[in-house]
């Protein structure tokens, strides 16, 4: 069982930066793939980034967001730079024990979810 808790959301102006954190419980953190998804009002939850043996990004955030993890503290991060109003969403972290790059963009591929943290970008 893995429990995930996000933090770091907030309100920033367009062009600004935020760093989200995801604290994971459990002693097998390093064996899970970790990822970030986001959901804007009225839209489906969408893939943002993932990390396993390498990193993966959605085209919409490539070059602006950086995913990383610290196994010593069981924490995953999402550094978000050059933020745009369209990045406004609730951001969720996720963990998967059965990661496959072909399915990482789909929510059923992820086993555990956090409660989400709100990110709002003003224009």
Q: 45-82: per-residue pLDDT in tens? A: 999 999 998 999 999 999 999 999 998 999 999 999 99
Antiparallel, parallel or unpaired: β 18-24 and 75-80 = antiparallel
Residue among 30, 25, 36 nearest 107 (CA): 36
The top-scoring range by mean pLDDT among 16-30, 90-104, 107-121 is 107-121
| Average pLDDT along the chain | 95
Antiparallel, parallel or unpaired: β 55-57 and 10-13 = unpaired
Paired tokens of 29: 């953190």
By the 8 A CB rule, do 34 and 50 touch? yes
84 vs 100, which has greater pLDDT?
84
pLDDT exceeds 70 at position 27? no
* pLDDT value, residue 28: 73
Name the pLDDT band for 93 (thresholds 50, 70, 90): very high
* pLDDT value, residue 1: 82
How much of the chain, in percent, has pLDDT values that exceed 90?
Answer: 85
């Amino acid at each position: 069982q893995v429990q995930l808790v996000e933090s770091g959301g907030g309100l920033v102006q367009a062009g600004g930066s935020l760093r989200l954190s995801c604290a994971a419980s459990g002693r097998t953190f390093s064996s899970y793939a970790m990822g970030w998804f986001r959901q804007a009002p009225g839209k489906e939850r969408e893939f943002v980034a993932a990390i396993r043996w390498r990193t993966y990004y959605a085209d919409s955030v490539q070059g602006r967001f950086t995913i990383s993890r610290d196994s010593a503290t069981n924490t995953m991060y999402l550094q978000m730079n050059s933020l745009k109003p369209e990045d406004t969403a609730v951001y969720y972290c996720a963990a998967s024990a059965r990661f496959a790059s072909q399915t990482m963009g789909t929510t059923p591929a992820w086993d555990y979810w956090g409660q989400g943290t709100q990110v709002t970008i003003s224009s």
